[in-house]
Amino acid sequence: MSADATATRGLVGLLDPRRYGIRHQAGVVGLVLLAVAPYLVPTVWVRNLTIALFFAMFAMSWDVVSGYTGQISFGHAFFFAIGGYSSALLNLELGLPPVVTVPVAVVVTVVAGLLVGVPALRLRGPYFSLVTLVAPTILLNVFILFSDTFGGELGLDSPAPILDFDDLAVTLVANYYLAFALFVGILAVLLAVTRSDAGAVFTAIREDEDAVAASGLNPAKFKVFAFALSAAVGGLAGAVFVHTPVGNPNPSQLLALTVSIEVIIAAILGGMGTIVGAAIAGIFLRLFQLYLGTVEYVVPVVDTAVADVDLLLFSLVTLVLLFALPGGIVRWAVHGGGAALDNIRGRDTATDGGRDPPDRDALAAVRESWREDVAAMQARVPGAEPGPDESAGGDRR
């Protein structure tokens, strides 16, 4: 068999969903359902699904820095607003097309994020969180102070759309697929990064930053990288968002404190440090909130329509889910699904050795890599002293 035929056969095998685990097959099914959703739901829900996809992108951007490195940000809306307003202003004031303004807005967001993030990342714990909380407040006051340019609390006029057609339904469907393509692209990039060696270091920083530094790695470099990646994703989503029929460059959609809080809730409810969890919970929470706003059923005891107390009900349900699923939806589904499969197959999860062992702890992996590097360096230096993890009579690696 030729090399080309072998490569083609290998690619076909890689794309065969039967080769993947059940959770990955479930992910493929979820993406397929999202891909055909516009043909399964009414037009108004196509709009709602588009909003949900953008909200999921915001949640994923938060998770990549806060969920993985443990640097909890309370003001991630700063990134969304910088990206959205930058793209809108470039379009409205200079007449540049969205295909130009969106990439420029991403660069502006990364620069602005680094100006805030690099000094803030020198801090730890509540001090870092406080800085990120104050940043959007300062930005909002700048928008109000220079309202002639930024539109104040009302925001700016809608910029030119990326996709626009004479038929409203066609426009909504086209913009849905634009959001869906962006969602899939962001999901793929963030999964690739967080499943790489860099992602292992991110997790190790969250577990014990001092141990990572002692291993010979520079935690600040990785935290800045995670922060810049998060800013780029948030800025990209915000920039595209304002050029669609579902988004506008105004503080209530991009900069309000509630936006940052809802993003945090989505990522935690989905499962911090999973990316997929943030995406799933982001879509679910936004759709659930929008659905409650349409329910006209009157609650008998309080004689009030559900739509009139939708925020209260949304908060209560979210609170219950956070208590019921402290590890997040994804971890609950994976562990629960694994236990169910074991029961179906007649396995004992406590004693059965047929299942794959759990992944190594990220911090342990970093330490092991450091030890190997030290051992290799000692092998090149005659008479080198044993490493800090080696006893005088222990084995030399």
Q: Is 391 inside any structural domain?
A: no
Is the confidence at residue 16, as pLDDT, over 80? no
Of 23 and 256, more confident? 256
Model pTM score? 0.81
Is the confidence at residue 343, as pLDDT, over 80? no
Separation CA 397–CA 376 (nearest Å) = 8
* pLDDT confidence bin for 88, thresholds 50/70/90: very high
State how many domains the chain has: 1
Q: Is 65 inside any structural domain?
A: yes
Q: Is 377 inside any structural domain?
A: no
Q: Is 396 inside any structural domain?
A: no
Q: Mind listing the pLDDT tens digit for each residue in 22-64?
A: 777 788 889 999 999 999 999 889 999 999 999 999 999 999 9
Report the pLDDT averaged over residues 101-117: 93
Separation CA 23–CA 187 (nearest Å) = 16
Q: 354: which 2 tokens? A: 């047929």
Q: Mind listing the pLDDT tens digit for each residue in 280-335?
A: 999 999 999 899 888 888 888 778 888 888 888 888 888 888 888 877 887 777 76
Residue 239 three-state SS: helix
User: Mean pLDDT across the chain, nearest whole number?
Assistant: 82
Q: Is 370 inside any structural domain?
A: no
Burial 248-277 (b: 16+ CB within 10 A, else e): bbbbebbbbeebbebbbbbbbbbbbbbbbb
Q: 252: which 2 tokens? A: 């209530």
Give the phi and the psi of residue 158 in degrees, each rounded to 5.
-65, 130
Q: Is 119 inside any structural domain?
A: yes
Any idea what the CATH number is for the domain that residue 214 is in?
1.10.3470
Q: Is 114 inside any structural domain?
A: yes
Q: What residues contact 52, with CB distance under 8 A and at least 6 apart? A: 282, 283, 286, 287, 290
User: For residue 300, what pLDDT is reported?
Assistant: 81
Closest listed residue to residue 25, CA positions, set 35, 15, 13, 39: 15
| Segments forming the whole domain that contains residue 249 | 3-364
Q: What residues contact 147, with CB distance under 8 A and at least 6 apart? A: 153
